Every structure is written in C-alpha cells, then in structure tokens.
Amino acid sequence: MDRPRGRFAPTPTGPLHLGNARTALLAWLSARAAGGAVVMRVEDADLLRTRPGMEDRILDELAWLGLDWDEGPDRGGPHGPYRQSERAPRYQAALDRLREAGLAYPCFCSRAEIAAASQAPHAGDDGPRYPGSCRDLSAAEVREREVRRRPAWRLRVEPGPVPFADAVHGPSAHDVAAEVGDFVVLRADGVPAYQLAVVVDDVEMGITEVVRGDDLLPSTSRQLLLYRALGAPPPRFAHVPLVVGPDGERLAKRHAALSLGQLREGGADPRAVVGLLAALSGLAPEGVDRSPAELLPGFRLDRLPRAPAVLRPGAVERLLSP
C-alpha cells in the first residue's frame, strides 16, 4: 500500500489556540504513527479574510510545538502550490468538469442569500436550506440573467442521506438535500467555497486521511458528494472532539489567553504545552511534559474519547508559571 498522507489545513485568519494545536497534534500523530507523510496546506482562498503575517506565525508556532511536515508552502513539494490562493485554476477546472457533467448550475440569487447558504465551513453557519430557485432555469433564462449578474455555482444534490464511517465518531450521515440543499461550490466573486477547495486539494495532494475538528463533521457528507461527482476516492475521515474552555464554550479567538503565541511569549515550555494537549486527549497523565514523538508509540486515533475535551481552570496558568 502507498504511504498514508495526512495534512494540516490551517486558515490564516487568526492565531492558533490550544484547540487548533491539539487537532494539529492529533493529525500529526495519526499520520506519523502509520509511517505516513504530513502535508501543510494554507487555506487562504478567501484573501479578504486572511490576516497578513498569520501564515508565517502559524507555521512557526506549530514547529515550535515540535510538529513537522514534509510538504508545504515553506518547503515546496510535488503537489504544490500549497496555498489555496495560488490554486484558483485548479478549482476552476474542477468546476468545469462538474458543469460539463451537468452536476453544477449557475445561481443568480442575491448575495445575501448566497452568503447565508454557502460559505462558512463550520456547523451552524450554513443558513437556511437553498430552495433550488435556479435549479431548472432554461438556457435562455441563464443568458438573460448572466447579462446582469455574475452567478455563483451550485452542486446538484440528490435526496437521501450520505453515510460514512468516521474513525472517531463511528457511523455518521447527513442528508445534504434536506439540510442544506444544492450548495455553492464557487461564489459569484470567483472565490471557491470551502467545500470545493478542500476536496480538490485533498484529492490532488493525495491525502488519504483527514483529521480535523468535529465542528466540520456536518460538512463531510457534502464533501463526499463532491468526491463522487469528481470521480475520486474519498480519504478516511477522523473528526476529533473540540476542546472547550472552563466555561464549557468551544475555544475561540475571544479566549485570547489561550493562543499558542501568547503561551510561547509568556515563556511556556513547548513540551509542557504538548503534555497538556496529550492529557486533554487521554494520551498521557496530566502535568507530564512530552514531545510529539514521545506520544507515537501505541497511538490510536480510534481510542480517542468522543466527548469534548475540557480545559480545567488553571491548566493554562500552570503552563506560564515558572
């Protein structure tokens, strides 16, 4: 069998927090424990949301933790470019294939409606189900509308659940047609939707396993429809539970004290940070320093608890005290 290939896919819109770092650690452990390669891909397709300097900072902080990767924007590789902002022709080519197969159609609905129904990859951000208003426009109607507005492109979705086996959560399925409807694959402003970009990239970069936060579990069925439409075999999916703060809320940018950069600047030892991430994942007892490599022996993603990992009060402060 070919060597397994995993990946990190950070979005350079904000600094990494402990939750992102834990996901990256688990993706690294999963790939490396199987003797696999790790690919770094920067998900900056939406340049308006990208923050200058954030890519360098994210790569630097992951390296500080002791993670490494074989291919990426900083080191090149045979499957580049490794920044989504440099891959637009590839997304366009995939869209052209979908169009030629009659699987994608132009949608002229208002910007607000498209924004609501399409873009953000995270659960709960998907807005209302798209009612299919532009699904059956005639060629003449399309020509007439094209004069006035550039269309978004949607994937034609057939009814019924789209099941898959998640390595952490077990059997999973979403009924895309009922929940989301025909979803946007290319926005009217030419920016690929997360769903299309992530699938095109994972296919072209030969990714065999996707380890990511379980906030993205609901988008996996959509992505499976794209794998099917593009005739590509899907990877193995593993959705790891999020880390929640002491307040029970999912870690977010507002938990500023938990950013990796602040821990680093505050003098935290990266081995202590990895030790905390390992303890949060049931991989090591609390309060023990570890390097990523020390966590490799016997690592099994399918043994990861399915419940959210709770960051106890004081856990971060302990990293900062001498």
Binding mask 13-52 for ligand GLU (x = CB under 6 A): ------------------------------x---------
Q: Which of 212, 222, 255, 290 binds ligand GLU (CB under 6 A)?
A: 212
Least distance (Å) between residue 62 CB and ligand GLU: 13
* Active-site option among 3, 49, 111, 253: 253
Least distance (Å) between residue 10 CB and ligand GLU: 5
Residue whose pair of structure tokens reads 């929640």 in the numeric block: 244
* By the rule CB under 6 A, 155 interacts with ligand GLU: no
* By the rule CB under 6 A, 218 interacts with ligand GLU: no
Binding mask 120-139 for ligand GLU (x = CB under 6 A): -x------------------
* By the rule CB under 6 A, 9 interacts with ligand GLU: yes
Residues within window 93-122 making contact with ligand GLU, judged by CB under 6 A: 121
Tell me the three state secondary structure of residue 313: coil
* By the rule CB under 6 A, 203 interacts with ligand GLU: no
Q: Which of 134, 157, 216, 319 binds ligand GLU (CB under 6 A)?
A: 216
Going by C-alpha positions, the residue among 219, 203, 7, 221 that lies closest to residue 94 is: 203
* By the rule CB under 6 A, 238 interacts with ligand GLU: no
Residue 320: active-site member: no
Distance CA(309)–CA(25), nearest Å, equals: 14
* Contact call for residues 183 and 131 (beta carbons, < 8 A): no
The pair of three-digit structure tokens given for residue 313, joined into one six-digit string: 């009060």
Q: 107 or 185, CB closer to ligand GLU?
A: 185
- Please report, for the chain, how many H helices and E strands are present, in that order: 11, 11
The residue number whose beta carbon is nearest to ligand GLU equals 212
The pair of three-digit structure tokens given for residue 319, joined into one six-digit string: 């990293």
* By the rule CB under 6 A, 10 interacts with ligand GLU: yes
Going by C-alpha positions, the residue among 215, 110, 127 that lies closest to residue 169 is: 215
Indicate the residue type of 58: I
**β pairing state of 162-166 and 170-174:** antiparallel
Residue whose pair of structure tokens reads 């208003």 in the numeric block: 133
Which residues are registered as beta bridge partners of 239? 212
Distance CA(59)–CA(12), nearest Å, equals: 10
**Contact residues for ligand GLU (CB under 6 A)?**
9-11, 43, 121, 198, 212, 216
Catalytic positions, written as ranges: 253
